[in-house]
Amino acid sequence: MDERLRFVARLLNGEKMAQVCREFDVSRKTGYKIFERYKNCGLEGLTDRSRRPYRQANQLAFQIESLILQFKREQPTWGAPKIREKIRRLQADFPLPAISTVHAVLDRHGLVQRPGRRRYKAQGTALSTPTSPNDLWCADFKGEFMLADRRYCYPLTITDSASRYLLCCDALSTTQEIYAFTAFDRVFREYGLPRSIRTDNGVPFASRSALWGLSKLSVWWLRLGIHVERIKPGNPQQNGRHERMHLTLKKEATKPPGKNFLQQQARFDAFQQYYNHQRPHQALAMKCPGEIYRPSSRTYQGLTELNYPLHDRTITVTCCGRICLENRKINLSTVLAGQNVGIKEVSDDVWLVTFMHYDLGFFDSETDTLTSVENPFNAKVSPMCPE
């Protein structure tokens, strides 16, 4: 109330509405509204008012709600449209409720069966056999451990499979993808881009609730022209070289743990230098990984704009994971937020949605629901650019 009182006082002193609104960072519409309240109600008009609406838009008479529930008990398989039609045929004096209102009543009483959340069943992809540096990188979060200050550390590690070179060992406080993005961005700038990256099916590398199990991180890799490989769930041996490095890391850089993240990162940096340039490796004929590894010839230059000249339209996925076509809103996935997809009408009122060169599915003008096609990433998750 004090803010509103000062606002009104300055207007009463003769100051202009526009200037006072600008200094209080409110619109003139709001300013005039506050001033009108004061003129009509005095100081009482400047107190906080209840935001409860004067009437509830979907609040039904008790008789109508009872009727809806009665019809649902008589016909358990009926949904809101049929129940509303049954009410309409009664030709009663009360106003006919909307279908959405009938549905809301049923939902409030637990009579609507909600569809289960779509979940991706993790599956492995085809796995490549690297022969040269940067053919395949392996990435994982080594199991978390507690630092001396009682905080948990989640080491993100990246290795080159052919040379066993340890590209990254970052002491992170979480497995959230924003920190993984930062780490990979730095590694890409320093060493270039690999041909493939192999991970498990956990976050942030994959997502169980997103389309095809993609995550924002793996979508970014695809956009950069990197193949994405995933091991089968419960088969860590498919990333055996990386797991073996984790054993060495655990023995030599985590016991005892550092006092804090800065000290632990210093230990990881020292281990990375030692592992790459001082420790001979039996699988490399007793050479050190640093003697074999060379940075990639594919330099990191960011993302280019996605266009679909063979489609009818190019649409950017919204931040909530939708594409908007005229008045229609079709849900795709939030992992594609900000990405361009191609839209093509393949039949009357049937549209195909494509991301890069992957056909994601179809939607029609009646349901506006994406019907996904066979998972294009099952056999191999590949980038758009050619080899």
For residue 7, what is the enclosing H or E element? helix 2-12
Task: Report helix, strand or coil for 206.
Answer: coil
Q: How confident is the model at residue 76, as a pLDDT?
A: 86
Tens of pLDDT along 189-202? 999 999 999 999 88
Tens of pLDDT along 6-22? 888 888 888 889 888 88
Q: Looking at the predicted structure, is the pLDDT value of residue 57 above 80?
A: no
**What letter does residue 153 receive in the DSSP assignment?**
E
Asked if 362 contacts 346 with a C-beta cutoff of 8 angstroms, the reply is yes
Taking the C-alpha atoms of residue 198 and residue 381, their distance in angstroms, rounded to an integer, is: 10
In the CATH hierarchy, which fold is given to the domain comprising 137-292?
A: Nucleotidyltransferase; domain 5 (3.30.420)
For residue 209, what is the enclosing H or E element? none
Taking the C-alpha atoms of residue 265 and residue 12, their distance in angstroms, rounded to an integer, is: 62
Domain ranges for the chain, please list them.
Answer: 2-46, 62-108, 137-292, 313-372
**CATH match for 62-108 among 1.20.1440, 1.10.1790, 1.10.10, 1.20.120:** 1.10.10
Q: How confident is the model at residue 252, as a pLDDT?
A: 94
Q: Indicate the pLDDT class of residue 119, thresholds 50, 70 and 90.
A: low
Tens of pLDDT along 226-268? 999 999 988 889 999 999 999 999 999 999 999 999 999 999 9
Nearest to 279 by CA among 317, 252, 314, 307: 252
Taking the C-alpha atoms of residue 221 and residue 214, their distance in angstroms, rounded to an integer, is: 11
Helices 177-191 and 216-223: angle between axes, nearest 10 degrees: 20
Q: How confident is the model at residue 37, as a pLDDT?
A: 80
* Per-residue b or e along 330-341, where b marks 16 or more CB atoms closer than 10 Å to that residue's CB: bbbbbbbbebbb
> Which of left, alpha, beta for 222 (phi over 0: left; psi -120 to 50: alpha)?
alpha
Q: How confident is the model at residue 45, as a pLDDT?
A: 65
Q: How confident is the model at residue 376, as a pLDDT?
A: 63
Tens of pLDDT along 320-356? 899 988 888 888 889 999 999 999 988 777 788 999 9
Q: What is the mean pLDDT of the chain?
A: 85
Q: Looking at the predicted structure, is the pLDDT value of residue 54 above 90?
A: no
Q: How confident is the model at residue 116, as a pLDDT?
A: 46
Tens of pLDDT along 258-297? 999 999 999 999 999 999 999 999 999 999 999 999 999 9
Percent of the chain with pLDDT over 90: 46
* pTM of structure: 0.67
| Residue 88, number of CB atoms within 10 A of its CB | 11
| Helix %, strand %, coil % of the chain (to 5) | 35, 20, 45
Entry field: residues in the chain: 387
Q: Looking at the predicted structure, is the pLDDT value of residue 304 above 50?
A: yes
